[in-house]
Amino acid sequence: MALPKLNESIRYDMTIPSKKRKVSYRPYFVKEEKILLQAFESKDEKLSMRAMIDTVIACVYETVNPNTLTTFDVEYMFTQIRARSVGESSTLNAGCQAEGCEGKSEVVIDLTSVEVELDDNIDSIVKLDDNISIELQYPTYASFLDNYSSELSSAEFGMSMINECIVSINTPDERITEWSKVEIQEFVDSMTTDQFAMVGKFVDSSPTLKKDVHYTCGVCGKENKITLEGISDFF
């Protein structure tokens, strides 16, 4: 006799931030939790990031191409899945901002209320000169993983990600979308400092998980406010 299947009817909805596409998902189960725990306990950041994207793909019912998800898509989707898996809140110890006060406060964060703020006014087309412009996209999680190394400085890593964000190079006569790694590196290296800064500004504007948190210090009574940004701030 076959054993019954558990939790087949559990289903929640969320919207992929960059695509504004609604998908349904389930909590992660013991099989996914084992992999996550092993990855997190290893202290290997790249392994942990791979475990996160694997969990997202496993728990979403619809077909989602992992290579098209942005970094903030994966962070948001994983946070929602985790909230339904091990609890909808996360408790942080936040320090008091009053001068001289060393009070700590327990702050409970509702993870289901965490959102990604998208700025629709950001222009993805950067004009480099009178004849050449480039179209940019926010970094995908896949490209982030491919380029990430704990041995790279933040500046080196940021520069390596620039190439991954270029969708097309546009001239009055054509829209170029295919190139080799050598060609795109030579193109980026030929930019002036100001041109490179314009591209970097777009990449730096990539959305992230964000939530303003207000709390009262139990020691001095001061009203405090902190802004949590990025998945590491919430756990």
- Ranges of each domain in the chain: 12-87, 91-117+208-234, 125-204
pTM comes to 0.86
Q: Note down pLDDT in tens along the chain; length 235 residues.
A: 677 676 767 899 999 999 999 999 999 999 999 999 999 898 888 899 999 999 999 999 999 999 999 999 999 999 999 999 988 888 888 999 998 898 899 988 888 888 898 877 788 999 999 999 999 999 899 988 888 877 777 777 777 888 989 999 999 999 999 999 999 999 999 999 999 999 988 888 888 888 888 999 989 989 999 898 888 877 7
Structure tokens at 123: 């222009």
Structure tokens at 56: 């997202």
156: amino acid identity, one letter: E
Buried b (16+ CB within 10 A) or exposed e, 199-231: bbebbeebbebebeeebebeeeeeebebebeeb
pLDDT at 8: 67
Which region, left, alpha or beta, applies to residue 6 given φ > 0 means left and ψ of -120 to 50 means alpha?
beta
> CA-to-CA distance for 104 and 94, rounded, in angstroms?
6
